[in-house]
Structure 1
C-alpha cells in the first residue's frame, strides 16, 4: 500500500531536514513525499529537491494539503507538519493499526522533541485530552499526523480552504461521518515545542482550550478569535530582552551561581532560555522551566589527579555526535527564540552558536583569570598552565565582554572589555551566622583521594565531616555525608576550618563564612592550583600539592591567624551589587 506524505511548508529550512531524514530511515519504503510550499524565502525548496521530494505550490495549510493530495499517487495520504519527526518504525506501525481497525481517518499521539518535565507532561496531557475528546467527537488536536485514504479525501472535497483555523478538525469530522475515526495507540510523532517556547504553556493551552470548546459546541473558530498566526511571522514590536544562557555542567559550582543569575534576570523581565549538561541540567531543572539538556565535556580523575590523555580520549570519542546533536538543538531553538545576547559560563557550544548566528557573546565565569590576567606561578606548574590556557582559549573566543568571578585580582591584560566581579554566594549561606566548633569539614570534588582518608583516620582525636564520596556512613572519627544543601550549610557554618581541593565555589563559600582553607588541589587541574596558590598568598589558608601529617599539624596550629586574616581582609558584598554589574553589561552589549 503506497503512502503519499504531504507536508505544507513555509520557511522550514531548520526543521524540514530532520523530518525528511526520519522518513528515509523508515522500514516502510513504499512512500512518496510531496512538499506543498507557500513561496518560502529560505532554502526550503532546495532542501526538498536534495531529498528528491515532489514540490507543488502551497498556501495556508488547508490549501497546501489539498494541492499536495491532488499530486499524490498513493492510496493512503499522511499529512504532516514540517517541524515533526517520525519515530522509528512509525509508518509500519501506523499503517498496520490503521488497516487492522478498518479505519478511514486517524491521527497520531505526540512526543516533544525537546526533553524536560514541563514539555513531557504537557504533551502527555495533550494526548490524554485528545483521546478523551475523541470519545465524544472526532477532533484534529492540531493536525498531528492525519492518516486517511485518498478516495475519502476526494469524496469529502478535501480540506475547506475557506477556514483559516481548525480546518483539520472540520476535515476529520466530515470523513468520520462516512468512515471510522481513531486516535492511534502505538505510533508517536516527535514534534517541535516552538509554539510552547514562544507563547508559553499557559497561553497556548488557553488558546487551544478555547478553540476546542467552540468546535465541540459546533461553532467555527477563526485565527482572529485566538490571535493565532501561521509561520510565526508577527514579531512583537515591544518585547523583553532575550538571553540565551549556557553553562558548564561538570560539578555544581557553575549551576549554583547560574541559578542566582537566571532568577535575577527573570525577575527583571528578561526572557531566558538555558542550556546545560550533566549535574547542572539536573540542578536547574528543579528551579526553572526553560532548561534544555545538552551533552558536555567531562574530566577523568584518578588518584586525585586529572588524567589529561584519558580526558582527551574520552571526550573526543563523543565530540562528533555531541557536536551534531547539541548544535542542531541549540541552533533551532535559538532561531526561534531570537536571543539578543549569548551568555556563557564556560560552555563550549554556546560560544560556537554565537559566532554562527552572529549574536554578541558575554563570557561570565571564573576560568578566564587563567588567560586574561598577569601572574606568576612556579615553573613546576607551567605544563598544566599551558594546557589550561589552551582549553580556555578553545572554549571561548571573541567575547564582547568578559566578566571574571574572583576573590583574587592579579592585573588584567585588557581592562576595556574585561573586569573582575565578586563571587556570587547563595543567599542561604550569606544569612548564616558562623561559629567555630571542634570538627573539620572536608569537601572533595573528586572521590579518588583515598590517601587523604587514610591520613584523617589516623587523627582519631579530631572529627572530620566529609563530602564528595556520595554516601552516608560513619567510620570512627570520619562522618561521611552525601550531598544535601541544608546539611552542608550547617556543617560549613559551624566548622573550625575546611580541607578542600581547589574548587572555586566551595572556597568562596568558605571565605564568606570566614573559614580558613587547607587546599589540596586536584593534581594537574590548573584552575584549582591557581585558586589554592592565592589562598596561600592572601593568608587565608595554605596550599599544598599533597597532604601529610606535618602539613595538617602546621595548618591547624595557624588556623586562628588565617581566621583573623580573612576577617580583616576578605570583603564581601551583597549579591545585588554583583548582579547589577552583570545586568548593566548585558544591557550595554544589547
Structure 2
C-alpha cells in the first residue's frame, strides 16, 4: 500500500495528528510520502519523523489581533501557483491519497481519479455537529477547500456515523505537577497577552508562541515553540488558556486540564468548536480576553470533564494498511463504546443541541 498523505500546516494541530499517524503507520507494511503546505518550509519544526517530506506553498489564512483578515488572506494566497501545484503533483504509483484538510493533495487526487480519504476535524463539521454559519468566504473554504471521496471526521462526540474520537499524540505523562498556567494564543498580539497576564502576579504563566525569545518577564515565562517542551509543560500544568483549535483542546481533555478558550474570530472551525465545548461543558468559552474574564477563570477554574479517548491512530493505520476497503461503522462503534473504557454514557447527550 503506497499512500500520499497531505497535511495542512497552518496550525500545529494538523501536524500533531500527523505525528501520531506516522508512528502508527510504521507498524504496518505501508509506504507513506508526506506533503505539508500552508506554512513556509523554514517555519516547520521538529519534522524529523516525516523523513524526506514534500512541501508546497498551498493556501492559508491571515489573522490580525485574534481575527481572520479576509482581505489580506485573499491577497496573500496565490491561486495560480496553487492550481499549478495541483496539476504537476506526481501521483504515479500511489494507491490512495489521505488528506488532513490539505488542499493540493485532495484536488490532485481527485483530478487523477484516486481514492481521496479525508481524516481530520473539519470533516466532522456539518449538519449534525454544532457549526456556526460564519463569513461567506469561510463557508466556501470549509465546503470546497479539500474535497474527498471518503470523509472521516474527528470530534469530541459521535455526532455522525463517520465521526471518530480525536487522534492524539501525547507522550507518557512525566511525574510532577506545577501550578503554572500554560498560555498558547498564537493568533493574538503577544505583547498584549503578556501585559494581560502580568496583571495577575499571584499566578505563574508559561506563554508559548513562535518568534518569542526565551525570557522571564515578571510572572510570565516566554517560551519559543517547541513540541517536547510544550507537551512537558502541558502534562504538568494547572490549566490552559488557548484559542479553540481542536487538537490542543483534545489533549487538554485527555490530560484533564481546565481550559479557558477564545475562538479565533471569523474562523468557522474555531467558532464551531467553541459552541460544541460550551454545549458539552468541556471548557470555559469567552469571546473577549480581558482582566475580568481571566480573573474569574483563574479564581474559579472548573473541574475538567472525565473523558478518555482511545488510540484512534492505531485503528486507522490498521484500516489503511488493509486497503481502506471495509466500512468504518464497526470501528466507529468500538472506538466510542469500548475504546473509551467507560462507554458512551460518559458523553453527555443531554447537553448536545
Q: What is the TM-score normalised by the length of structure 1?
A: 0.51
CA distance in 1, matches of 2:254, 2:203: 24
Mapped pair 1:424 → 2:159: no
Alignment of 1:501-540 (within 5 A): 501-540=243-282
The unaligned stretches of length 5 or more in structure 2 are 328-353
Which residue of 2 is the match for residue 199 of structure 1? none
Map Cα deviations across residues 132-191 of structure 1 (whole Å, 9 max, x no partner): xxxxxxxxxxxxxxxxxxxxxxxxxxxxxxxxxxxxxxxxxxxxxxxxxxxxxxxxxxxx
Aligned residues of 1:249 and 1:276 also touching (Cα < 8 A): yes
The structure-2 alpha-carbon separation of the partners of 1:433 and 1:535, relative to structure 1 and needing over 3 Å to count, comes to farther
Question: Is the contact made by 2:185 and 2:242 (CA closer than 8 Å) also made in structure 1?
Answer: yes
Aligned length: 323
2:33 aligned residue (259, 265, 273): 273
- Deviation track 1:212-247 (CA, whole Å, cap 9, x = no partner) reads xxxxxxxxxxxxxxxxxxxxxxxxxxxxx1112111
Find the aligned partners of 2:113 and 2:226 in 1 and give their Cα distance: 41
Q: Which has the higher contact order (CA 8 A, sep 6+)?
A: 2
Alignment-derived partner of residue 233 in structure 2: 491
CA distance 1:376–1:272, shift in 2 (3 Å):
closer
Match of 1:468 in 2: 209
Q: Secondary structure of the equivalent of 1:353?
A: helix
Report the Cα offset of residue 453 of structure 1: 2.7
Partners in 2 of 1:584 and 1:529 — Cα distance?
36
Cα displacement (A) at 1:443: 0.8
Q: 1:583 to 1:512 in 2, by over 3 A?
A: farther
Corresponding residue SS for 2:50: coil
| Residue number among 198, 202, 210 corresponding to 1:457 in the alignment | 198
1:424/1:578 contact within 8 Å kept:
no
1:350 to 81, 105, 118: 105
* Equivalent of 1:573 in 310, 325, 328: 310
3-state DSSP class of the match of 1:299? coil
Tell me the equivalent position of 1:50. none
Match status 1:439 vs 2:180: yes
Task: Determine if contact 1:303/1:450 at 8 Å carries over to the other structure.
Answer: no
Distance 1:553 1:585 in 2: 52
| Corresponding residue of 2:152 | 403
Instruction: Assess if the C-alpha contact under 8 Å between 1:344 and 1:364 holds in 2.
Output: yes
Distance in 1 between residues matched to 2:41 and 2:3, nearest whole Å: 18
Tell me, in whole angstroms, the C-alpha distance in 2 between the residues paired with 1:289 and 1:562: 40
Which has the greater radius of gyration? 1
Higher helix share: 1
Q: Does structure 2 retain, via aligned residues, the 8 Å contact 1:434–1:513?
A: no
1:437·1:494 contact (CA, 8 Å) conserved in 2? Answer: yes
2:130 touches 2:275 (CA, 8 Å); kept in 1?
Answer: no
Give secondary structure in 2 for the equivalent of 1:371.
coil
